[in-house]
Homo-oligomer: A and B are copies of this chain.
Amino acid sequence: MALLVEKTTSGREYKVKDMSQADFGRLEIDLAEVEMPGLMSCRTEFGPTQPFKGARITGSLHMTIQTAVLIESLTALGAEVRWCSCNIFSTQDHAAAVIARDSAAVFAWKGETLQEYWWCTERALDWGPGGGPDLIVDDGGDATLLIHEGVKAEEEYAKSGKFPDPSSTDNAELQIVFGLIIDGLKTDPKKYHKMKERLMGVSEETTTGVKRLYQMQANGTLLFPAINVNDSVTKSKFDNLYGCRHSLPDGLMRATDVMIAGKVAVICGYGDVGKGCAAAMKQAGARVIVTEIDPICALQALMEGLQVLTLEDVVSEADIFCTTTGNKDIIMVDHMRKMKNNAIVCNIGHFDNEIDMLGLETFPGVKKITIKPQTDRWVFPDTKTGIIVLAEGRLMNLGCATGHPSFVMSCSFTNQVIAQLELWNERNTGKYEKKVYVLPKHLDEKVAALHLGKLGARLTKLSKDQSDYISIPIEGPYKPAHYRY
C-alpha cells in the first residue's frame, strides 16, 4: 500500500474521500448534537476540567456523523484523537471530512478495499515514534486484534526470526494483517510491543468484539485491560435493539425501495439485534420467521407471535433474509440458489461472514449486476433468477443507510466516554488488570438518566421509607447486577 497521507494546514494527518463535504458534515453534526444529550452533557460536566489532557485516543469505529460527535466530545475533554472506521462501507464521507478538517486525524472513506481498510487501521494506531495510543475505542476489535497479532508476531520473530506466514490462513483479512505486520517488522521489530506498553486499555462496543476479548481473557492472552461497553444495559439493550429496529428498514428502503408489508422476512438469530430486526419487520407489516439455536430466544420469539423454523424450511418462500447471529456460514450459496427471484439477502451482524459471499462470487456462471452501490443483483446461470445482496454482505444498515440514529448512539457513546475516562483516570491505580470489565450499574443508570429529559420523561423518586422497605438507595443503583431488563 502506498496511499498518500494528507495534512491539514495545522499539520494534522488525514485521508478521506472529499474535503469539500466538510461543511455539510458540520451541518449534520449540528443536528446530531441536539439528539445526543448524553454526549453533550459529558462535555458540560467534564469539559471544564479537561480530564483527557495529554491522552492519545485511537478509535476504530464507523466514521459516521454520530461518531463525529463522539470524537468531538473526546477532544472537548482534552484528548488527541486518531480515527479509522471498522467497516469498509460504513464511513459517511462528509463526517470524515469535517472531523479531518476540524478535530482529529481521520483515515476513512466509504468503499475501502480490505487492503485500504487495514492500512487505515494501522494509520490510526500509529502515533509516530513515541508509540501508539494511550487508549483505544474499539468496535469489533480490529484495532485490538492488530496489536495482539503484532505482538505475537514480534515475539515469534524475536525468537525464530520468522515472519508470520500469510499462506498459513485462508482468511483473506488475516493475510492482509500479516502483510501489514511484516512491513512493520521490517521497519521496527518492536513496534507493537511499544504500542502495548503505552496502552492503558480498550473500551469495546460490540457483541462480536466482546466475545473476542473474553476468549483472550480465558486464554490468558489479553495484553491490556478492557471495558466491555457492549454489555452496559444502555448499550446492548438500546443500540443493538432499538438501533437495529430503526436501521434495518431504513437500509432496506434506501437500497431497494421494496414494500415490506405483506412480505415474508426471515431473521436469522433472535438476540438483541435480531429482536430489533424482527420487531421492525413485523411492525412494517411483514410476516416474520426467526431461526435460532438457543431455545430460550426461540421461545421469546414464539411469545411475540413469530414463527421459529430452520432456514431450510423457509428458504424458498421468503422475500427478505437478514442475518444477525454473530456466527458464520448462516446463509450459504446453496440457500441462495433456492430463493425466490429477487429475494433480498442482507446482514446486520458485525462481520460479513454470516453470508457466504465467497460461495456466491465463485459460483460458476453467476452474474453480478450492480443496481447501485451496495445493491447488487446476482443472477444464477441455470435458473436465470436473481437475488439481491446488500452491502456485499457487510453491515447493511451502515452500508446502505446511515447506521443507527443519533439518539441511541448517544447512549452507546456516552458509555464509551465514561469507559475511556475510567481507564484514563485509573491508569496509575492498578484498578484495572488485564481483564474484561463492565461499567458499574450506577454509571449505566446515569447514561440512561442523561437521555430522559430530551424525551420529556419525569422519574418518580423513592421516599426514604420506600427505599428502606426494598433496600434500594434513593439514588440507585436500582437493580442487582444480574437483572435482565
Interface residues of A (CB under 8 A from B): 24, 27-28, 31-32, 34-35, 65, 211, 214-215, 231, 233-234, 236-238, 242, 245-246, 249-250, 253-254, 256-264, 272, 282-288, 291-311, 313, 317, 326-329, 341-342, 369, 371-372, 377, 388, 401-402, 404-408, 411, 438, 444-446, 448-449, 451-452, 455-463, 465-466, 469-471, 476, 478-482, 484-485
Contacts and interface: CB of A to CB of B under 8 A. Distances in A.
Contacts of A302: 261-262, 452, 455, 457
Given A245-B284, A309-B458, 20 more contacts: A27-B371, A28-B257, A211-B471, A233-B484, A237-B296, A249-B249, A262-B302, A262-B455, A283-B283, A293-B461, A293-B462, A294-B448, A295-B446, A296-B478, A298-B459, A299-B451, A299-B452, A302-B452, A310-B459, A329-B466
Contact of A372 (B24, B463, B480): B24
A19 to B, nearest CB: 17
Contacts of A471: 211, 215
Contacts of A285: 242, 245, 303-305
A263 B455 contact: yes
Contacts of A411: 299
A326 B480 contact: no
Contacts of A297: 478, 485
Please indicate which of the listed interface residues A237, A238, A296, A342 has the most CB atoms of chain B within 10 Å of its own CB: A296
A175 B262 CA distance: 44
Given A302-B262, A305-B287, A328 B484 contact: no
Contact of A65 (B257, B327, B446): B257
A115 to B, nearest CB: 24
A456 B308 CA distance: 8
A479 to B, nearest CB: 7
19 contacts: A214-B480, A231-B482, A242-B261, A246-B260, A250-B250, A262-B299, A262-B303, A287-B306, A287-B307, A293-B478, A298-B452, A307-B457, A308-B459, A310-B460, A311-B460, A317-B456, A327-B462, A327-B469, A328-B469
Nearest to A258: B405
A261 B291 contact: no
A238 B299 contact: yes
Protomer copies: 4
Contact of A466 (B327, B448, B481): B327
A286 B341 CA distance: 30
Contact of A444 (B237, B246, B296, B309): B296
Given A294-B479, A463-B329, A485-B484, A303 B242 contact: yes
Given A298-B448, A451-B299, A465-B329, A341 B34 contact: yes
Nearest to A210: B480
Contacts of A237: 296, 300, 484
A132 to B, nearest CB: 28
Given A245-B261, A407-B259, A295 B27 contact: no
B371 A233 contact: no
Contacts of A27: 369, 371-372, 377
Contact of A258 (B24, B35, B215, B301): B35
4 nearest CB pairs, A to B: A259-B405, A283-B283, A308-B457, A295-B448
A285 B262 CA distance: 18
Contacts of A307: 287, 456-457
A296 B258 contact: no
Please indicate which of the listed interface residues A295, A310, A342 has the most CB atoms of chain B within 10 Å of its own CB: A295
